[in-house]
Structure 1
Amino acid sequence: MPQAPTLPTRPVRAATPLSSRTAVNAVLLMFAVNGMLLGGYGGSLPSVRDRLDLDATQIAIMLFSGGLAGITTMQIGGRLADKIGARRIVFAGLPLLIAAAVVLAFAPTYPIAIVAGLLFGLGNGAMDIAMNALGVQVEAARRRPIMSRFHAFFSIGNFVGAGVVLVMAKALGITGSGIVLPVMVTLAAIAVAVLVLLVRIAPEAAVVSHSTDGGARTKIPAMAWVLCLMSMAFGLSEGTAVDWSSLHVTDVAQVDPTVGALGLIAVSGFMVIIRLFGDGLVARFGRRTVVRYGGACAAVGYAMVALVSSLPLLVVGWALVGFGVGMIAPQVYAVAGHLGGGRVLAVVVTFGYATFLAGPAIIGFLVNHVGIQHAMVVPALLCVGVVFLASTLPKTDADLENARTAR
């Protein structure tokens, strides 16, 4: 009896090892494209406001809706990342961000812009947790710190995304509301190309169990709640630096707003610098020491901007703030991920994200009542709190591993 012809089989793609250089590059791309899309979104908001004739309240509602959506998918994405692998959650979140960029590009009305904001929040919440969880697994597989560099590429991507708005406006000679469509479509196209590449090179993430040998569900470790407090402290401090530094320099130094932008430039620039070199510091001194000195550095910076008024000293103060807060988040998130995977990471990141969103509004309330310089005392005190809370962090990665296995 003749045998049936055999059909050619498609070769199975070999999984990228978590410890490989390719895996590192894939996660760097994830952080960079996430930052780029969010930077383009933030940089396009003034033009969206002009195109749809929105007021400050409508913009705030749009951002708040996206923030709530992000918090929701952070919780869902963190748990799913542990159950089915963080790689899959990244590939669920990134298409949502791309869709958000396209919807915003063509949004003809405010309700459609709200939909775009919701899509940005849903996509970012899921992708944020998943790429951090995957980054933690790559770091664990390589057995040396790398989370700081991942976060540096997010900051670089954020800068590029916002910069595309200015570059394209100048190159195309378009100003005002007309720039939204070409910018968002361009960023979406770049993100699609990155997504196609990531499908080929992104590593397969490990599945994380939260059950004991007897089948009982493990509790979230007590250390996670300390990490949440730290996350809230640096979330407000970082949010204040990003949203208030330029206004602070403008008002206190009595300079033109374009000169006042030096405050945000100092914060962003020094945050990127320390994140690019932070992994070496962690390898040499440990996460506890790096977080402690980061909190101290940011506290000194905030104390300076609360006390001085000359432009050079204000810029130095904000540079110290950026230098300090840039050290903290990657290490706190790394400890959370190593301690309890995506589930613990989701809890810790959510606290920081919520405070990052609400913090600038809290500072705004204080500015109205005590003035912009005195308001900076609050983040200064919170950064001092980070210094003391850092003493609870594991001194070495071996101590962190013991804390993880002991729970």
Structure 2
Amino acid sequence: MRTPNPLSMSLRRRRLGVYWIFAINGLAFATWMARLPGLRDNLQVTTAEVGLFLLGGAVGALSGLALSSHIIAALGSTRTIALFATLALIAVGGVGALSALWPSLLIAMAAMFVFGVGTSITDVAMNVEGAEVERDLERTIMPWFHALFSLGTALGGGLAAVASSLGIGVEFHFVVIALVLIGPVVYSVHLMGGTQGGSNATSTAPGASGVKSRLSVWAEGRTVLIGIVALSMAFAEGSANDWLALAMVDDRGYTNAEGALWFVLFTGSMTLGRFLGVPLIDRFGRVPILVGSALAALIGLATIIVVDNPVVGVFAVIAWGLGSALGFPVAMSAAADDPERGAARVSAVATIAYGAFLVGPPLIGGLAEFTGILTALWVVAAVIALGLLATPATRKPKA
């Protein structure tokens, strides 16, 4: 009987571990995003104050991103994932419980700040780990990792819709999800080699080890342009995550449970787009596929804003989801093309992208007070158009 190659077996286990952590991160993220109307009701806040609540998570995310490459350099990617994914889950359980036991916007914002720190650092670490697995496999696979994130969000959104329809409060729902996901986090880290395994920025190349070297990537024009691509698609995705369920409830008159189902439709479409996108990227290249994706997102978003019809709306949300599917993962792959300072570049691109989550919630929430949520989403369309202009930067450098 032929013994499997130890290296290929190890690589398969690492790939499976990366799949797991992407799915877990997505499920945790969608748990509170899809129940945003319920959180708003518990906290008894306005739409503009919901924007401030989301801002707490965005500020936490940017704080985490600023430190992420240095933390990964010090701890390695898998140890970073173990620590900060657990922190994010604690924050999810905490914000649910506190919204009912002690309904305070400031406390909720603080809990979301902690969630933002935990999930953003985990995000960079799992993308660094995924990029290294992709390089070792010598094939495009990053969109599939992000497809598992989308699958996790679809599952989380589906569970949220069920919980909402059954009248289960966010305080119970969030705590249960947080406790259940601790075990899978530990298992995913085990598959990636445990807390002593995974990629480590300091071990990749001598030039990657210094703080000055890691910060210098911000002066690279290609890195900044890739960041703009990631920002535009993060805004396209994040605006749906933040506002789609709420917009369909407030502007279209659907129930909270039905609003969660619109969110599930979007995340399901993103999942499908990420699974189908890999062979298309391999055949046609990054740039043509990203151009087509951005156009689909623009058309879908514009349609859902101007057309109040459930059938048309379904197709519009599908186009929005499919169009938003590939931009962020392809940008992560492009940032990690050169492994020498992959963690620093991924961190920089992610930091630029998370600017969408910092500026977006208060901007859209503030505009929505005067125009309605759907009309405020025209800002997102403008940002997608900007990212469309920057897509040539994602082309693979010539060897």
Q: Report the TM-score range of the alignment, normalised by the length of the smaller protein.
A: 0.7 to 0.9
Residue of structure 1 in register with 2:174 after alignment: 184
Question: 1:236 touches 1:379 (CA, 8 Å); kept in 2?
Answer: yes
Offset, 1:239: 2.8
**Counterparts of 1:58 and 1:345, CA distance in 2:** 31
Q: Which residue among 14, 20, 33 is the counterpart of 2:11? A: 20
**Counterparts of 1:143 and 1:363, CA distance in 2:** 41
**Counterparts of 1:160 and 1:85, CA distance in 2:** 29
- Residue identity in the other structure for 2:158: G
**Counterparts of 2:114 and 2:162, CA distance in 1:** 25
Residue of structure 1 in register with 2:68 after alignment: 77
**Counterparts of 2:107 and 2:135, CA distance in 1:** 42
Deviations 1:264-284 (A, max 9, x none): 444322111101222222222
Change (3 A) 1:50 1:369: closer
Residue of structure 2 in register with 1:154 after alignment: 149
Change (3 A) 1:130 1:312: same
Task: Identify which range, 27-36 or 210-219, moves more after superposition.
Answer: 210-219
Task: Identify which range, 271-280 or 110-119, moves more after superposition.
Answer: 110-119
Structure 1: 5+ residue stretches without partners:
1-14, 403-407
Question: 1:16 touches 1:201 (CA, 8 Å); kept in 2?
Answer: no
**Counterparts of 2:314 and 2:294, CA distance in 1:** 18
- Residue identity in the other structure for 1:205: G
Residue of structure 2 in register with 1:11 after alignment: none
Residue of structure 2 in register with 1:388 after alignment: 389
Instruction: Determine which structure has more spread, i.e. the larger CA radius of gyration.
Output: 1
Question: 1:50 touches 1:176 (CA, 8 Å); kept in 2?
Answer: no
Deviations 1:137-180 (A, max 9, x none): 1111111111111111111212222333343566xx6x364x52
**Counterparts of 2:300 and 2:53, CA distance in 1:** 32
Offset, 1:369: 6.1
Q: Which residue among 213, 219, 222 is the counterpart of 1:217? A: 213
Change (3 A) 1:211 1:114: same
Residue of structure 2 in register with 1:118 after alignment: 113
Change (3 A) 1:374 1:141: same
Question: 1:82 touches 1:207 (CA, 8 Å); kept in 2?
Answer: yes
SS of residue matched to 2:342 = helix
SS of residue matched to 1:205 = coil
SS of residue matched to 1:20 = helix
Question: 2:97 touches 2:174 (CA, 8 Å); kept in 1?
Answer: no
Residue of structure 1 in register with 2:58 after alignment: 67
**Counterparts of 1:142 and 1:243, CA distance in 2:** 35
Residue of structure 2 in register with 1:6 after alignment: none
Residue of structure 1 in register with 2:3 after alignment: none
Change (3 A) 1:391 1:167: same
Structure 2: 5+ residue stretches without partners:
1-5
Offset, 1:59: 4.8
**Counterparts of 1:141 and 1:79, CA distance in 2:** 23
Task: Identify which range, 338-347 or 69-78, moves more after superposition.
Answer: 338-347
Figure out how many residues of one structure are paired with residues of the other and give that number: 378
**Counterparts of 1:51 and 1:250, CA distance in 2:** 16
**Counterparts of 2:388 and 2:318, CA distance in 1:** 19
Residue of structure 2 in register with 1:12 after alignment: none
**Counterparts of 1:207 and 1:358, CA distance in 2:** 31
Change (3 A) 1:27 1:384: same
Question: 1:86 touches 1:133 (CA, 8 Å); kept in 2?
Answer: yes
**Counterparts of 2:121 and 2:17, CA distance in 1:** 17
**Counterparts of 2:371 and 2:39, CA distance in 1:** 33
SS of residue matched to 1:338 = coil
- Residue identity in the other structure for 1:192: I
Offset, 1:208: 2.9
- Residue identity in the other structure for 1:125: S
**Counterparts of 2:136 and 2:150, CA distance in 1:** 24
Residue of structure 2 in register with 1:292 after alignment: 291
**Counterparts of 2:330 and 2:289, CA distance in 1:** 8
Instruction: Within 5 Å, give how 1:137-286 maps onto structure 2.
Output: 137-168=132-163, 175=167, 177=169, 179-181=170-172, 183-203=173-193, 204-209=197-202, 212=207, 217=213, 219-220=216-217, 221-245=220-244, 256=254, 264-286=263-285
Question: 1:301 touches 1:316 (CA, 8 Å); kept in 2?
Answer: yes
**Counterparts of 2:29 and 2:85, CA distance in 1:** 11
Instruction: Within 5 Å, give how 1:317-332 maps onto structure 2.
Output: 317-332=316-331
Offset, 1:368: 6.0
Cα root mean square deviation, aligned: 3.4
**Counterparts of 1:99 and 1:112, CA distance in 2:** 14
Question: 2:87 touches 2:118 (CA, 8 Å); kept in 1?
Answer: yes
**Counterparts of 1:200 and 1:134, CA distance in 2:** 13
- Residue identity in the other structure for 2:25: N
Q: Bigger relative contact order, structure 1 or 2, given CA contacts below 8 A and separation 6+?
A: 2
